Amino acid sequence: MRAAVLKQLSGRRGPFVSVSMDVSRTAESSARELDLRWQGHHRELTRRGAPKTMLDAAAPALLGPTGRAGEVGRLVVVDPEGVALDVVLPQPPAREEVVFGPAPHLLPVFRALHGRCSYLLAEVDRTGAAVAMVDVFGTSEQDLEIRGSHDVVHKVPGGQTSQRRIQARAEDSWERNAAEIAGALDGLVSRHHPAVVLLAGDPVTVSDLLAAAGHRLAELAVVLRSGGRADGTSATARDHELQAAMADRERRVRTELLNRFGAAEGRQDDAVQGFIDVVDAVRRAQVVELLLHDDPSSARTVWVGDEPLQLAVNRGEVVAMGFPQPVQTRADSALVWALVHSDAGVTLLDPGDPDLADGVGALLRWSDRSTPHDGLPSMPGHGLPAGSHHR
């Protein structure tokens, strides 16, 4: 998974103050409790050496209104120039974190987005569709109404010739309207690139719409049993189905990544696992996707220089990169910061997913003879000796 919002940090330089908090305001006392928790975080960051100017910049962002109802989180990152990132998260963090160091702490974003994806929801009837485009943070990007141009949409009872003609015209209008809705949705899919398209409403129109859909729309479409524009439809049932469809999509994506990782590991080419080997691959910008069994309590550290890709498990390697005064910092922050800088993704694994050495692995863009691997060939084609393998 990539989080496009993190591109806002491009070009920013540390040190960074990073604060992830539960900023829900679900009770009258919430604002006061939030302020008290921030005061505690302020004291801890001060103890760690964070400058007062940076903490003063963080406070208004953390304590200000989010514009979102219900339970939400917030990640605020501040550098010496001011607020570098302010993101409202679709759910509170499992535990609040404060970090002061050379890399921003961005894992709270990937934790909050775990199991979520962007989607297009189209609730259709025989005259048109109500469409919502929702990003991965649960924020509505666009709401619009699509109206079909064909207005003979109701059948009439009876069997006389004129009535049969009206019925035929009505059915033709349904199909034409469905085709127009499909064309409009095709355009939205091309422009917004949702991860999934959810269709709810009149079954006949949905069927006609899918028959007229372009390849990408048909590939992404999931038909919901609940929801729609008719009176009496249940928004609650629709939302439960919507959440289940997103979770199912994310499971399939994660399974595909794990299968690719397993196949590449079997060949000993475009995958590595284990902390030291992954750090080496991240430093060389080889990683296309990090696979991580997330452990917020991990005490692993790396040494880093002045640039995101200047990192290593020992100090001497960073000095050899031309940075004479490396800093030791938490590994998860430095790794994710380097991955964002090199346009790589991060996938957090579930407890039931296969174990990885040290809880971490990576799919690679390429590998060569210098890429470390973890074993001897165990299957035909495993550990091919020649050349580089590009994906």
**CATH 3.30.960 region(s) of the chain?**
4-113
Q: What is the pLDDT along the chain (391 residues), one digit of tens a residue?
A: 888 889 889 889 989 999 999 999 887 768 899 999 999 999 999 999 999 999 999 999 999 988 888 899 999 999 999 999 999 999 999 899 999 999 999 999 999 998 888 999 999 888 888 899 999 888 877 678 887 654 544 433 444 444 444 444 444 567 788 888 899 999 999 999 999 999 998 888 899 899 989 999 999 999 998 766 555 566 788 888 888 888 888 888 889 999 999 998 888 889 999 999 999 999 999 999 999 998 888 889 999 998 999 999 999 999 998 888 999 999 999 999 999 999 999 999 988 888 899 999 999 998 887 776 655 333 333 333 333 344 4
**CATH 3.30.420 region(s) of the chain?**
119-233
Q: Considering the domain 4-113, what is its CATH architecture?
A: 2-Layer Sandwich (3.30)
**CATH 3.30.1330 region(s) of the chain?**
267-390
Instruction: Give the model confidence (pLDDT) of 51-101 as tens digits.
Output: 999 999 999 999 998 888 889 999 999 999 999 999 999 999 989 999 999
Q: What is the 3-state secondary structure (H, E, C) of the chain?
A: CCCHHHHHHCCCCCCEEEEEEECCCCCCCHHHHHHHHHHHHHHHHHHCCCCHHHHHHHHHHHHCCCCCCCCCEEEEEEECCEEEEEEEECCCCCCCEEEEECCCCCHHHHHHHCCCCCEEEEEECCCEEEEEEECCCCCEEEEEEEECCCCCCCCCCCCCHHHHHHHHHHHHHHHHHHHHHHHHHHHHHHHHCCCEEEEEECHHHHHHHHHHCCHHHHHHEEECCCCCCCCCCCHHHHHHHHHHHHHHHHHHHHHHHHHHHHHHHHHCCCEEECHHHHHHHHHCCCEEEEEECCCCCCCCEEEECCCCCCEECCHHHHHHCCCCCCEEEEHHHHHHHHHHHCCCEEEECCCCCCCCHHHEEEEECEECCCCCCCCCCCCCCCCCCCCCEEC
Assigned CATH class of 119-233: alpha beta
Instruction: Give the model confidence (pLDDT) of 136-171 as tens digits.
Output: 888 877 678 887 654 544 433 444 444 444 444 444
- pTM over 0.85? The answer is no
The correct CATH number of 267-390 out of 3.30.70, 3.20.20, 1.10.287, 3.30.1330 is 3.30.1330
